[in-house]
């Protein structure tokens, strides 16, 4: 491939690549192509040093303020609270809703455990909703059959950074005005739907800065508040149930215990690392867009012949390029292709096991639901290496390894 990949000369992000390990299945002298490499892309190390020498290491520091400012500007939100993880941000949203015994939260079956866990541990029962094939996001039709007077919230995920069917989901929820829409936007930061930023569409949105995400500080997250009515109480819950924030602003002369809460704040050492990553957002997203385009151009012509589908990006969506996935024709082939790719030194991988079939999912569900698309997709989905330090040569090796494995396992025609 030429032109659409990332050559060393045209690389837009000045990265410090971490040493790549020759894998056990590696091909002699070529190192394995890792699935994810958390690269340094800007001034991370300078900022961390500044944070440490500046003496403010805890939450509520200047770096966190600047990171939150970037995120709030992107979504137009009245407040963004920097948290220790996306899981913590989801938990904070659950506390804000005062979930009670008997309340239900609807979550997709095809997502990470935290999407459901955060609400279950706050006392809600879960209802697992299937996904639709077009976006792998929540299926509005299934959703419409699950709503009842116990449901307090519906959580959506913009899988791979591609917006779910927001319009149809809003139509379903129009009949249930008390039900809150939450975006678990761990994949979707800087993606859009009809020009609107992902993370600006729900009452709350959560972000992840875990090592595996587009922008990282190791472990970190944020709660995006899109309704100004939530801001004051959220700040109290965020600060161990105290009105410390109002005290810092000089609005009260001492701070005391006011409400429930926890220790949700992101250390400023980590916020410093994150701010440097966020400052490079345009360059990072441009690199990721080109990886996506490279895979799509190289793979889609072979789909029919070799029995796979490349990921789709339906119209009116600018994806956040969190990952690139393909769907093999069946589960056995997906596993065989993964195995063959690993033998050629390319670390492709599968993804979520449907939550409605897991032990904890069954235990937390208010009743069993059918999610056949989640089960089918989970068995056939394969994710290709996707990170900011992939070179043109790496992408060509990934494509070649995938096509060879696809040909070796192709169904007889």
Ligand X SMILES: *Cc1c(COP(=O)(O)O)cnc(C)c1O
The residues of the shown chain that bind ligand X, judged by CB under 6 A, are 85-87, 111-112, 114-115, 157, 184, 186-187, 208, 210, 221
Evaluate whether 17 touches 39 at the Cβ level (below 8 Å): yes
CB of 53 to ligand X, least distance (A): 27
Residue 352 vs 402, nearer CB to ligand X: 352
Closest residue by Cα to residue 321 from 380, 379, 383, 366: 383
CB of 225 to ligand X, least distance (A): 18
Q: Which residues pair with 318 in a beta bridge?
A: 192
Residue 71 vs 298, nearer CB to ligand X: 71
Residue 205 vs 338, nearer CB to ligand X: 205
Residue 26 vs 265, nearer CB to ligand X: 265
CA angle 74, 278, 245 (to 5 degrees): 70
Evaluate whether 132 touches 139 at the Cβ level (below 8 Å): yes
- What does the alpha-carbon distance between residue 411 and residue 413 come to, in Å, rounded to a whole number? 6
Evaluate whether 156 touches 185 at the Cβ level (below 8 Å): no
Evaluate whether 125 touches 371 at the Cβ level (below 8 Å): no
Residue 115 vs 409, nearer CB to ligand X: 115
**Token pair of 177, please?**
């005005």
CB of 96 to ligand X, least distance (A): 17
CB of 279 to ligand X, least distance (A): 20
Closest residue by Cα to residue 324 from 390, 374, 405: 390
φ, ψ of residue 241 to 5 degrees: the values are 75, 15
CB of 86 to ligand X, least distance (A): 3
Strand order in the sheet with 125-129: 79-83, 221-225, 204-208, 180-184, 151-157, 104-108, 125-129
- What does the alpha-carbon distance between residue 270 and residue 272 come to, in Å, rounded to a whole number? 5
Evaluate whether 41 touches 280 at the Cβ level (below 8 Å): yes
Angle between helices 86-96 and 231-238 (to 10 degrees): 120
Evaluate whether 92 touches 223 at the Cβ level (below 8 Å): yes
Residue 187 vs 334, nearer CB to ligand X: 187
CB of 223 to ligand X, least distance (A): 12
Q: Which residues pair with 334 in a beta bridge?
A: none
Residue 13 vs 157, nearer CB to ligand X: 157
Residue 86 vs 326, nearer CB to ligand X: 86
- What does the alpha-carbon distance between residue 187 and residue 112 come to, in Å, rounded to a whole number? 11
SS3 content of the chain, % helix, strand, coil (to 5): 40, 15, 45
* Alpha helices (H) along 199-280: 231-238, 244-248, 268-279
Residue 307 vs 319, nearer CB to ligand X: 319
> What is the DSSP code (8-state) at residue 187?
T
- What does the alpha-carbon distance between residue 279 and residue 313 come to, in Å, rounded to a whole number? 26
CB of 28 to ligand X, least distance (A): 34
CB of 344 to ligand X, least distance (A): 27
CB of 88 to ligand X, least distance (A): 7
CB of 266 to ligand X, least distance (A): 11
Residue 85 vs 389, nearer CB to ligand X: 85
């Amino acid at each position: 491939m030429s032109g659409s990949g990332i050559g060393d000369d045209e690389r837009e992000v000045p990265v410090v690549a971490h040493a790549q390990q020759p894998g056990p299945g590696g091909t002699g002298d070529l190192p394995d192509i890792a699935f994810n490499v958390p690269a340094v892309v800007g001034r991370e190390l300078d900022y961390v040093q500044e944070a440490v020498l500046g003496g403010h290491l805890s939450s509520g520091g200047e770096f966190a303020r600047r990171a939150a400012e970037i995120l709030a500007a992107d979504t137009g939100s009245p407040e963004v609270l920097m948290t220790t993880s996306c899981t913590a941000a989801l938990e904070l949203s659950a506390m804000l809703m005062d979930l009670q015994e008997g309340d239900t939260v609807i979550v997709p079956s095809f997502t990470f455990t935290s999407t459901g866990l955060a609400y279950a541990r706050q006392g809600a029962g879960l209802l697992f909703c299937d996904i639709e094939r077009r976006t792998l996001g929540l299926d509005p039709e299934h959703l419409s059959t699950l709503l009842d007077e116990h449901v307090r919230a519906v959580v959506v995920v913009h899988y791979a950074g591609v917006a779910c069917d927001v319009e149809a989901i809003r139509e379903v929820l129009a009949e249930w005005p008390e039900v809150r829409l939450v975006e678990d936007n761990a994949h979707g930061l800087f993606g859009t739907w009809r020009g609107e930023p992902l993370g600006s569409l729900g009452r709350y949105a959560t972000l992840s800065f875990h090592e595996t995400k587009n922008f990282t500080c190791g472990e970190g997250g944020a709660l995006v508040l899109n309704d100004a009515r939530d801001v004051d109480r959220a700040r109290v819950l965020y600060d161990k149930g105290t009105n410390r924030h109002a005290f810092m602003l000089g609005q009260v002369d001492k701070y005391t215990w006011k409400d429930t809460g926890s220790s949700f704040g992101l250390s400023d050492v980590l916020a410093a690392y994150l701010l440097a990553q966020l400052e490079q957002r345009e360059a990072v997203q441009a690199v990721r867009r080109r990886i996506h385009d490279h895979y799509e151009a190289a793979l889609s012509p072979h789909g029919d012949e070799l029995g796979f589908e490349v990921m789709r990006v339906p119209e009116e969506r600018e994806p956040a390029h969190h990952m690139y996935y393909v769907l093999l024709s069946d589960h056995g082939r997906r596993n065989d292709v993964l195995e063959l790719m690993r033998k050629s030194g390319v670390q492709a991988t599968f993804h979520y096991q449907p939550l409605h079939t897991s032990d904890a999912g069954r235990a937390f569900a208010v009743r069993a639901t059918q999610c056949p698309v989640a089960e089918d997709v989970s068995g056939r989905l394969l994710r290709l290496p996707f990170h900011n330090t992939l070179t043109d040569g790496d992408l060509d090796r990934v494509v070649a390894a995938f096509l060879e494995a696809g040909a070796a396992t192709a169904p007889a025609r």
